[in-house]
Amino acid sequence: MELNEYIGHLKYEFDIPVSRMRKIVREFHSEMKKGLCGRKSSLKMIPTYVDIPTGKEKGSFLALDLGGTNFRVLEVKLKGSGRTIPPKVMKFVLDKKRIAGKGDKLFDFFAGCIEKFIKYDGCRGPKERKLGFTFSFPIKQTGVASGDLVLWTKGFSATGVVGKDVVKLLEDALARKGLDSIKVTALANDTVGTLIARSYQDKDCDVGVIIGTGTNACYREKVSNIKKWPGAATPSGRMIINIEWGNFNKLRRAACDIALDRASKNPGDQILEKMVSGMYMGEIARLVLADMSKRGFLFSGPAKKAIQKKGVLKTQYASEIEADRSTGLSKTASILKELGIKNSTLRDREMVRTVCGIVSSRSARVSASALAAVVTKADPGLLKKHVIAIDGTVYERHPTFAKKMRRALKEIFGKKSSNIKIVLSKDGSGKGAAIIAAIA
């Protein structure tokens, strides 16, 4: 195959024209409906037991916000009337040993971090404190403050947690530290936290999205549409559904997607997430580049070996390369040097940048299609205004992603796309869990 032919094929494999986006919307709707009925579906459609807050919730709450390897403990003060005081925050990082070790040890570590936080905060004592727990993994919720881990995603594999109630695991760990006065009164997914935090101040907000290490969304659904829901209706008649959209699998995959999935910790799962999120975008680009290099289209000498190494091209690097406007792509040259690719030619670098762009375009267009499906589930004609609270490193920091996603929405909806207002809602996930703790 000639290079031109190869690039043509690559573009075809990754291209998502508007007709395909519309097809994704239709299939997404069908999976959503099946998931709501409790039928087999790639979308879990998890009822969260809560709806958006009134904005009048008040008080001081702790939150543990676990999104991935970075997590935070915070204290959130809700003033009522939709306002909060900027929270006190402590950040922590989980190392590989912890995410792949014993579950008990992982939760002991969380409890230890909470202990550190309250010592610093000076609020240790017999006084009961309520804590909202943001746990950003697929949880089968069994109550506002209980739920079992269905499976790990985003590279986590700690043992003894799948199938267990994560709130109980956290409370047991807190008790082992003598912190029984802390009661976990809310369990939330990060998308739910993000939606709740935004809707505390903005009543038009009805969707929460995360596009970061992982990706997912939640939205408000009529309880009467949640056929699998055995309980009573909420006062508003609506409930937030955690879609777990990362697992959507009605997507055409390219050869590198299949290779990436096979080499992952959770083959067969999280197909959309593996095309979209920050944990995988760089690796997809790397797999393409490695294939090109093998075919003799790219790199020479030791560079050929360096690009074969799994994980060398982090999404952050791919983002910086896509943003590179320096003469001779010198910034790209120095990034590649860091990866062990010392002798790239300008043509190599241009090719690398093109591939990074192809990968991020597909990611943005798949995300836009999924978002279009979520918004039109409740409002097929897109007649109302919808505020989408969004967070995550890819949406926030990638140089072209947000723009490409907006453009794709415009292709799908035309002028009506102005009814979709996407607002970056930073750090809402923890705050949202605290608000749920207040509702509960």
Counting contacts by CB under 6 A, is residue 137 touching ligand GLC?
yes
Could you confirm whether 72 is annotated as catalytic?
A: yes
β pairing state of 129-135 and 182-188: parallel
Segment interacting with ligand GLC (CB under 6 A) among 55-63, 132-140, 289-297, 375-383: 132-140
Selected from 47, 87, 193, 246, the binder of ligand GLC by CB under 6 A is 246
Q: Which of 41, 48, 153, 417 binds ligand GLC (CB under 6 A)?
A: 153
Catalytic site includes residue 397? no
Q: At its nearest, how many Å lie between ligand GLC and the CB of residue 77? A: 25
> Among residues 53, 87, 214, 278, which is the contact residue for ligand GLC, using CB under 6 A?
214
User: Which of 362, 273, 278, 263 is closest to 317 using CA atoms?
Assistant: 278
| Candidate residues 136, 141, 185, 199; the one interacting with ligand GLC per rule CB under 6 A | 136
* Residue 286 known to be catalytic: no
CB-CB contact of 41 with 34 (8 Å): yes
CA distance 349 to 334: 10
Minimum CB distance to ligand GLC smaller for 135 or for 299: 135
Which entry of 51, 72, 367, 391 is annotated as an active-site residue?
A: 72
CB of 324 to ligand GLC, least distance (A): 28
Regarding 273 and contact with ligand GLC (CB under 6 A), the answer is yes
List the alpha helices (DSSP H) in 215-254.
none
- Residue 425 CB, shortest distance to ligand GLC, in Å, is 14
- Please give the Cα distance from 411 to 265 (Å, whole number): 35
DSSP annotation string for 342-401: ----HHHHHHHHHHHHHHHHHHHHHHHHHHHHHHHHH-TT--S-EEEEEE-HHHHH-SSH
Q: Which two tokens stand for residue 208?
A: 């929460």
Indicate left, alpha or beta for 309 from its phi (over 0: left) and psi (-120 to 50: alpha): beta
Catalytic residue among 108, 190, 257, 269: 190
- Mind telling me the catalytic residues? 72, 136, 190
Residues that bind ligand GLC (CB under 6 A): 67, 136-138, 153-154, 189-191, 210, 212, 214-216, 244, 246, 273
